[in-house]
Structure 1
Amino acid sequence: MKISFKIGISILVLIFSLGCSSKKNKKTIKEEMTAAKILGNPDYIAISYGGYRQKSRDIQPTIAEIKEGMKILFAMGIRIVRTYNVQLQQAPNLLKAISELKKEDPSFEMYVMLGAWIDCLNAWTNKIPNHHIESDQNNEEIDRAVALAKQYPDIVKVIAVGNEAMVRWAASYYVQPNVILKWVMHLQDLKKSGELSSDLWITSSDDFASWGGGDPSYRTADLEKLIKAVDYVSMHTYPYHNTHYNPGFWRVPASENGLTEIEKVTESMLRAKKFATDQFYEVQKYVESVAKDKPVHIGETGWATYSNGFYSDEGSRASDEYKEALYHNHLREWSKENNVSCFYFEAFDEQWKDAKNPKGSENHFGLINLKSEAKFALWDLVDQGVFEGLTRDGKPITKTFKGNKETLMSFVKSPK
């Protein structure tokens, strides 16, 4: 009897232990995230990432440099980053860096919207671009994207075919929608055959106008086919640029003439938010007329902090850190409330985009500058200590203007 009793107790203990172990394992195993679970999820904040530090992309960011950047973005709450091409080593290095970080720290989590660059024939040459015929390089670019998506299926959750590749103002390289459609269908076929994960989402990331949100001439049969073919629509909106090209919303109306300068700025940035969200809703409205319930997310929007051109004191006065912070916060809040992913442009300043003009606006869209200083939009995170122990290029993340808000505000001017 005593032996049987002891055996019985031992069996019960074993069963209980196995049960506890099973529950523990279930808690430690992460839910497998897919694009469908990530996009529109307010816990998975999105951002555009290049990571280039130098004045030329000939000098690619190293894996060590990218790991620095990813740790900073993770600390900020970012969980998915967007890239733009796989012609260069940046994207493969990024994926390797994230893979290494995941192995080093099981709690590290970061996913990628992988961009594949699409060009027309004669793009970026001294020949006249042929916008009706695509470049031969497109085939190789798609093949590279496919290879990386297969190599890193746990990280690559979206492939974007082209970046602003259909909008006509991209005069150096744009193509017709049928070219984008061709490659989207190719990738969708690879999903059907099992060569690519069925959970991988395919899109194209383009200006709001290209998705039928503005000029009706973009609303073609091929665009409708493309909208039906993608898993979601990735649209861009830039009220910042429109402070020059379409400034009606930006100028101070007569009803606000009695406001203080800062009050005028506050109101102008609310109008900027409305400008951006109105473009989103216009795209959404058209997309729903073509393919009901097709998701729409913001693939790119941002605000530069400096400009010696159209957006400077002599221009629209749009550029400063205070306005960037207001715009960033407005779009983050709106996107979370509406379950829309917003790939904010961009994480870090990059100086290759306008290398001959250091003060050009394209070099100043980052939330963190090249001195490893967090711009005003992130000052609260510095105060909260989220960057403690993290560095970029060996420098800790500190505040711009040495944290002096009065000095920062001295550069802020209301729209003309």
Structure 2
Amino acid sequence: MMLGCNENPKANQQLTAADILGNPEYLAISYGGYRQNTRDIQPTILELKEDMRLLFSMGVKILRTYNLQFQQAPNLLKAISELKEEDSNFEMYVMLGVWIDCQNAWTDKAPNHNVEDFENNEAEINKAVKLAKQYPDIVKVIAVGNEAMVKWATSYYVQPGVILKWVNHLQNLKASGELSKDLWITSSDNFASWGGGGSEYHVKDLEKLVHAVDYISMHTYPMHDTHYHPVFWGVEDKDSTLTDLEKLDVVMLRAKSYAVSQYNSVFNYMISIGANKPIHIGETGWASHSNALYGNHGSRATDEYKQALYYKHMRDWTNNSNMSCFYFEAFDESWKDAKNPEGSENHFGLFTVDGKAKYALWDAVDSNVFKGLTRNGNPITKTYNGNKKALMSSVLIPSENQLITQK
């Protein structure tokens, strides 16, 4: 039968994770739709649809979620399913996150990192399996744990053997036919947890895990390391004669190179243990504001201009390398640091909570990509009222005191 002129042939195909991951026509992003300073208030189906239309309009077709303790992820899948029924051109796929905790995580008791919270972890896994079977046309990846092995996650991290157990469980469900053989299974974690860090991570269970997953979902955050490990951050003597904007270009290219070096460290470890799996960027991002370590009283890393440069560099690098980049994140979420509204965790979004497009998306606004679309009922407009001079007045050069002036 001939397709109607408004129908999208790709949207009617059963694409797999292998088809979409690493495909630059299917941009990926990390998504949380929470619009209040608490997750007790869940986004509605209509709000989720509003967000999906915005992301799809800018070429995003793969989302990453984080947990199933709340109703957001199931509601998101329902919203996507309804949008697909309403519009045959609409495409959106999901990397479904499963939250994994150790025993006593998030309690007043000391976390036991050698024992998992079996009851809650099993419930998360079972929910993921149910949703993957209910929405096989949307759920293309299940990620077991989010930064669940990295040792600085002191509230909840587990040993690699826990992640390995649940990954093997899901792989066995694929082998038995209960889950689609095309569903990819991974864990999404810091580069160090995937062998790119110190030798304390190089344990047998990690080796087994690398061989067990369908691909490695790796996190890299140069922005955080501008404060903790400023080996790449700042204006070097040889760059002192550059203009202010040229200096920023140099430091942000250095940030990109730092991210690439962390990817290389994971790749080299993987090869050293005889594995050869795809590596995709499960998270990377750059906050646009911080009142502490990364802001103008700290490493001077956070503003919308630097965020835009980093976003462009990450998209260019991963698209050209046939990798997916689940950029963190689509929208600001104020619940992340509710007691400190100016904290960096609240400001990683490419959009503000009320739907203003940050500098990284100003060109998209100019191109009418968001025409007729809204968030919270607000049309999509630029931050700073589109005044670049006003934006640049808040931007500092790392290791220098002067404000950047827009020439």
TM-score of the pair, normalised by structure 1: 0.93
Is 1:226 the counterpart of 2:209? The answer is yes
1:169 aligns with 2:152: yes
Amino acid of the structure 1 residue aligned with 2:60: I
Find the aligned partners of 1:176 and 1:323 in 2 and give their Cα distance: 35
Which residues of 2 match residues 44-55 of structure 1 at below 5 A?
44-55=26-37
Tell me, in whole angstroms, the C-alpha distance in 1 between the residues paired with 2:201 and 2:212: 17
Matched residues, number: 396
Closer, same or farther in 2 for the Cα pair 1:22/1:306, shift >3 Å? closer
Aligned-partner Cα distance in 2 for 1:408–1:141: 42
* Structure 2 unaligned blocks of 5 or more: 400-407
Q: Does residue 1:375 correspond to 2:358, yes or no?
A: yes
The 5 Å alignment of 1:230-269 reads 230-269=213-252
Return the letter of the residue paired with 2:140.
K
* Richer in helix (by share): 1
Q: Could you tell me how far apart the structure 1 residues matched to 2:78 and 2:9 are?
A: 24
Number of the residue aligned with 1:150: 133
Deviation at 1:227, TM superposition (A): 0.3
Verify the 8 A CA contact 1:261 1:413 in the aligned structure 2: no
1:206 to 2:150 alignment: no
The separation in 2 between residues aligned to 1:24 and 1:359, in whole angstroms, is 49
- Checking the alignment, whether the CA contact within 8 Å between 1:265 and 1:413 is kept in structure 2 is no
- Is the contact made by 1:305 and 1:321 (CA closer than 8 Å) also made in structure 2? yes
Alignment of 1:20-169 (within 5 A): 21=1, 28=9, 30-135=12-117, 136-169=119-152
Deviation at 1:28, TM superposition (A): 4.3
CA contact (8 A) 2:352 2:358 kept: yes
Cα deviation, residue 27, structure 1: 8.0
1:393 equivalent to 2:380? Answer no
Alpha-carbon distance in 2 for matches of 1:165, 1:96? 27
Q: Is the 8 A contact 2:235 2:251 kept in 1?
A: yes
The sequence identity of aligned pairs, in percent, is 65
SS at match of 2:97: strand
Q: Which runs of 5+ in 1 are unaligned?
A: 1-20
Q: Is the 8 A contact 2:211 2:275 kept in 1?
A: no
Q: Alignment partner of 1:81: what SS?
A: strand
The two structures, once aligned, show a CA RMSD in angstroms of: 1.4
Q: Is the contact between residue 288 and residue 294 of structure 1 (CA under 8 Å) also seen in structure 2?
A: no
2:404 — aligned with what?
A: none
How far is 1:266 from its partner?
A: 1.1
Larger radius of gyration: 1
The match for 2:330 among 325, 347, 350 is 347
Amino acid at match of 1:118: I
C-alpha distance after superposition, 1:319-346 (max 9, x if no partner): 1000000000000011110001000000
- Distance in 2 between the 1:251 and 1:242 partners? 12
